[in-house]
Amino acid sequence: MLELAVGGELFDFVALAGRFTEPIARYYFKQMISGIDYIHRNGYSHRDLKPENIFLDEHYVLKIADFGFASQINKNSGKLLSTRLGTENYMAPEILLGKPYSGFSVDLFAIGIILFIMVAKTPPFFRASSSDPLYRMII
């Protein structure tokens, strides 16, 4: 089903509204976790979560979009993914390092980055690269 997201992108919302207070960030974080939990329970990993792929409807309810890099995951097989997909600044370190990764874990990493941006209005590091000192702290 196609839905209209008249509230626009989360990226624009943060840019215009500024830093979210803790209760507002918590409200949207819970929605992101709920949405990604639904996706994971149905056996998929998004693999390109970022504020530009999260939209708001007319009631400011989050909608996760752009499943172009999504992958079906068999939760019971333990099989890891290896394709380098997604947007670099939201990629988990294991993807950037070319290591096999869990689709579920990399989605949660990206949601953590998004939460940081909602609260701080800036990414936690300049560039997802081993040359960035802040990023190096998490790899």
pLDDT (0 to 100) of residue 39: 96
Compute the CA torsion angle 123, 88, 39, 30 (nearest 10 deg).
Answer: 0
Give the integer Cα–Cα distance in Å for 90 and 124: 10
Environment class of residue 31 by beta-carbon count within 10 Å: exposed (0-12), middle (13-18) or buried (19+)?
middle
Structure tokens at 138: 């998490």
Superfamily of domain 8-69+81-136: Transferase(Phosphotransferase) domain 1 (1.10.510.10)
Give the H/E segment covering residue 48: none
Structure tokens at 47: 């693999």
The single-letter DSSP state of residue 127 is S
64 Cβ neighbours under 8 A, 6+ residues apart: 32, 35, 36, 39, 46, 49, 53, 54
Give the integer Cα–Cα distance in Å for 20 and 133: 26
Please confirm, yes or no, whether 48 is among the known catalytic residues.
yes
Active-site choice (37, 48, 66, 107): 48
Q: What is the mean pLDDT of each run of 10 residues along the chain (139 residues)?
A: 78 91 95 96 95 93 94 79 91 91 95 95 84 80
pLDDT (0 to 100) of residue 77: 67
